[in-house]
A and B are shown apart, each in its own frame.
Chain A
Amino acid sequence: MSTASTNPNPAGDAAGGSRGRAPAGERLADWADGRLGVYTLAKSNMRKIFPDHWSFMLGEVCLYSFLIIILTGVYLTLFFHPSMNEVVYHGSYVPLQGQMMSEAFNSTLHISFDVRGGLLIRQIHHWAALVFLAGMFVHMMRVFFTGAFRKPREINWVFGFLLFVLGMFTGFTGYSLPDDLLSGTGVRFMEGAILSVPIVGTYLSFFLFGGQFPGGDFVARFYSIHILLLPGIMLGLVVGHLILVVYHKHTQFAGPGKTNNNVVGMPLMPVYMAKAGGFFFLVFGVIAAVAAIAQINPIWAIGPYRPDQVSTGAQPDWYMGFSEGLIRVMPGWEVNFWGHTLVLGVFIPLVIFPLVLVAIAVYPFIEAWVTGDRREHHILDRPRNAPTRTAFGAAWISWYFVLLVGGGNDLWATHFHLSINAITWFVRIAFFVVPVLVFIAAKRICLGLQRRDRDKVLHGRESGIIKRLPHGEFIEVHEPLSQEQLHTLTSHEQYQPVEIGPTVDENGVERKIKGSEKLRSKLSGAYYGDANQIPKPTVDEYKELTSGHGHH
C-alpha cells in the first residue's frame, strides 16, 4: 500500500529473468497498486459477504434509479433553458402555436418534440424519480420492520431518512422547472404555505421568489437547487450510506449458523458483482420500458403557467401527496387579531408536514431509549417478534395513506361516485382514528403469529394426515420441526419490561423518581409487558412435550 515500499524484485534482474515479463493485466494492477493501494482495498473488499434475500435488493433499486436520474438529467440539462423570459411558441406542437410562454416551458416542449430521444429521456427521468422515491419508501419500511435501524446503524437510518426527504424536495423542484400550469399551481401552493408563516412569511416568500409571485426568478433558482445543491448533498449522503453499509456489514435474518458476529452469504466478487451489476440493467430496463409505454407529465396538454389560470385535478407527484392531503382536509380556519391574519387552515398543515416525517427519523432513538439496550444488533427481527414496533410502523403507513387519499379526494369522488365532502370528512376523522385501529390490529396479528410459532415449535407442523386410533378417536398427526426450523423460530430474544427499581435506598430514604424514568417504565411495559409479547417456548417446555408421553 505504502508508496515508499520498494519492489523486492526489480524488473529485469537476474532472478526474475527466467519467468519472463508478467501479463499485461498484472502489470497494470501493479502500476495501480503502487499509486492507489488497490491491493489492500481489494483484499478487504472483494470478498465482502452479502446475504441473500430479495428485500436486501430494495436499496439497490434506489441506488440504480438515482444513477439513472443523474444520467438522464445530464442529458436534459443540455437542452433545457432555465429562464422565465417570455417567448412566443413556434415549435412543432400545433395546439400551442403562437402562445406566450416562458423559455423554460418552451425548451421543455423543444425537448419533448424536437430533440432526438428527448421525450423518452424526459419520461425515463420522471418515471425513475417516482420509482426512486417509491423504492426508498419500501426500503425504509424493510429496514424499519426488521429492526435493521438498531445500533450500530442509527446514523445510517438518519442518512436514509435525509435522502428520502431531500429526494422529495429534489423531485418537487424538478417537477416545477418546466413552468407548466400544473407545476405552477404546485409552486403557488408552496408560496401560500410560506405566506401562512406568522410574521416572516411574507418576507420569506419575497426572498424566495425575488419579489411578488411568480416573478421572473424562481425557475432559475429552482434549477440550481434541483441540479446542483440537492443532488450534490444527496450524492454525498449516498456515498456515506454505502460506506456505512460496508463498514457495518450487512444484517441477516436469523437462521442456523448465522450469529451476531458473522455474515452468511455470497462474496461480492464474483457473485454479487454479477448479480448487482445485472440488476442495474434490469432496473434500467424496467424504467425505460415503463417510460416507453406510459406517458408522464404531458406538459403540452397541460399548457404554460399563468397565475390567473388553474385546473381541477392539480396534484403533486405521489411523494408530496400527503402534504396536499393535509391542506385539502384541513378546515379553513383563520383568526384575526390587531389587523393581522393568521391562516391556521394552511399554517397547521405546514407544521404537521415535517412532524409526519420526523416521526420516522427519531423512532430508532426512542426505541433504544425504551429498551435501554446498548448492544449491537446484526440479526434481523421478524416483524411479528417486535409487535409494538410493527404496530407503530403499520400505523404510520396507514396515516400516510389516509393523507394520500385526502390529497386525491377529487379523483376518489369522480371515480367511485362519492361526495368529495364525505371523503374529506372521512379523512378528517380517519387521520386520528385509522392509525389507532391499525396499531391495535397489527399488534393483535403479530401476537397471533407469535402464538402460532410457539405452537409450531411445541407441537410440530400440522401434517394434514388424519389418524384413527384403535379406540376410535381421530387425531391429526403433527410432524416435529427440524432442528434448523426450531432454531430459527426460537432464536429471537425477548426483552423484559424495565422496572423503576427500589423507590427507597438502602438507608430507607425515599429516592426521587424522575418523570422520564416513569414514562420509560410505562412505555417499556407497553412494549414488552405481559400481554404485549408471547413468551417463546423454553427448552424445558419443549422437552416435557416431546419426551414421549404419547399424544397431548
Chain B
Amino acid sequence: MAALVVLLIALTLSGGLYAAFAPADKAQADDTAQSLAIEEGKKLYQVGCASCHGTGGQGSSDGPSLVGVGAAAVDFQVGTGRMPAATSQGPQVTKKKNIYSQAQIDQLAAYISSLGAGPAVPTTNDYSPEGADIAKGGELFRTNCAQCHNFTGKGGALTHGKFAPSLEGVAPKHIYEAMQTGPQNMPSFPDTTLSQQNKKDIIAYLNAVNGDQTDNPGGLELGGLGPVSEGLFAWIFGLGALIVLAVWVAARTAKAKKS
C-alpha cells in the first residue's frame, strides 16, 4: 500500500513538474518550426511565385502584391490549383490539379503571412456543418451569392468570358477561404460583413443542396440550370418521343380486305 502511495506521489510530482516546464519548451520548438516553415516557404515561393508576384511578394506588372493577403488566400489559391497560374490564360484563372502537398502549401502560407497580417486558414470547426442553420444559410446564399453562382451554386456567366464557377465538389475549407479573401472577380466577405457563423451556415446550406448527399426528389436534376435545360429536355425527349410514336402509330393502318 505504501509503495502505491509513493508511486502516486512520484507520478503526480513528475507530472506537475512536466506541466510546469513543458509549455515553454513547446513554444520554443513551435517558434523554430514556424521560422523553419517560413524559410521553406520562401524557397518554394522563389521557385513558383516570384516571377509574377516579385521577389519579396511586392507584386509586379504580372501579379498583385501579396503583402497582407494572409494564409487563407494562399491556401485557397494554391490548394485549388489556381496558383501558380498558367503562363497564358483565358479571361480568368481556373482551378486545376494542385501540384503542392498540404505541408508545402502551409509553408508558402507561413511565408506570405510573415509579409503582413491577413486572414488565417480556418479551422475544421469553422466550416463543419455542426451547429449551422441550413435555412439561414440558404437565405444568406440567395442574398449574397446567388446573383453570380446560381440558386444552388451551379455557377454562372460574368462579363467577357469570365464566370462564377460551380461550387459543386469544392471543399468547405476553400469555400470559407473564398468568402474570406474574395479571389479574382469575387467580392470578399470579411467577418464584419458575413460573420463566422454566417459563413458556416452558407457552407452547410451548400452541402445540403449541392453536396454528395443531396438527393433530388423530382428525379434527374438536368444540371440544375432551370428552364433552359428543362425546355431542351421537353423538346428532345418529350416531343421527340411523341413524334416517334406518331410516326409509329400512323404507319400502322388498317388494310383493306382482299376479296
Contact = CB atoms under 8 A, between A and B. Distances in A.
Interface stretch (A32-40, A311-319, A385-393): A311-319
A20 B220 CA distance: 63
A351 interface: no
A57 B234 CA distance: 18
B58 to A, nearest CB: 32
B90 A417 contact: yes
B96 to A, nearest CB: 14
Contacts of B250: 52-54, 56-57
A70 interface: no
Contacts of B241: 286, 290
A313 B225 contact: yes
A312 B146 contact: yes
A279 B247 CA distance: 11
Nearest to A271: B254
Contacts of B146: 181, 309-312
B235 A95 contact: no
Contact of B151 (A99, A181, A413): A181
A420 interface: yes
Nearest to B228: A408
Given A279-B246, A290-B234, A414-B156, A309 B142 contact: yes
Interface size class of B (residues with CB under 8 A): 35 or more
A181 B216 contact: no
B203 interface: no
Given A56-B250, A94-B208, A420-B157, A315 B216 contact: no
A112 interface: yes
A103 interface: no
A302 B146 CA distance: 10
A383 B100 CA distance: 63
A522 B157 CA distance: 47
Interface in B157-213: 157-161, 163-164, 205, 208-209
A95 to B, nearest CB: 5
B253 A271 contact: yes
Contact of A95 (B164, B205, B221): B205
Contacts of B158: 420
Interface string B110-134: 0000000000000000000000011
A287 interface: yes
Contacts, number: 215
Contacts of A242: none
A315 B249 contact: no
A250 to B, nearest CB: 13
Contacts of A275: 249, 252
Interface string A285-323: 011001111111110111100101111111111110100
Interface string A79-112: 0000000000100001111110000000000001
Contact of A411 (B151, B228, B235, B249): B228
Nearest to B158: A420
B147 interface: yes
A419 B161 contact: yes
Given A57-B246, A312-B149, A317 B159 contact: no
Interface in A380-408: 407-408
A303 B151 contact: yes
A286 B245 contact: yes
Nearest to A316: B227
Contacts of A368: none
- The secondary structure that dominates the A interface is helix
Contact of B220 (A53, A138, A294): A294
Contacts of B232: 318
Interface string A46-77: 00000011111110110000000000000000
Contacts of A314: 226
A56 to B, nearest CB: 7
A437 B195 CA distance: 56
A387 B149 CA distance: 47
A2 B151 CA distance: 65
Given A98-B135, A130-B231, A290-B234, A420 B159 contact: yes
B225 A119 contact: no
Most B-side CB within 10 Å, residue of A55, A94, A293, A294: A294
A127 interface: yes
Contacts of A54: 243, 246-247, 249-251
18 contacts: A119-B217, A131-B234, A278-B249, A279-B246, A294-B222, A295-B217, A301-B151, A308-B143, A313-B225, A314-B226, A318-B228, A319-B231, A410-B156, A413-B161, A417-B161, A419-B159, A419-B160, A420-B160
Interface of B: 90-91, 133-139, 142-143, 146-152, 154-161, 163-164, 205, 208-209, 216-222, 224-235, 237-239, 241-243, 245-247, 249-254
Given A312-B146, A419-B161, 18 more contacts: A54-B251, A58-B246, A94-B135, A95-B137, A95-B138, A127-B238, A131-B238, A131-B242, A138-B239, A182-B151, A271-B254, A286-B238, A296-B230, A297-B230, A298-B217, A317-B227, A318-B227, A318-B234
The 3 closest A-B pairs by CB, nearest first: A318-B231, A295-B218, A312-B156
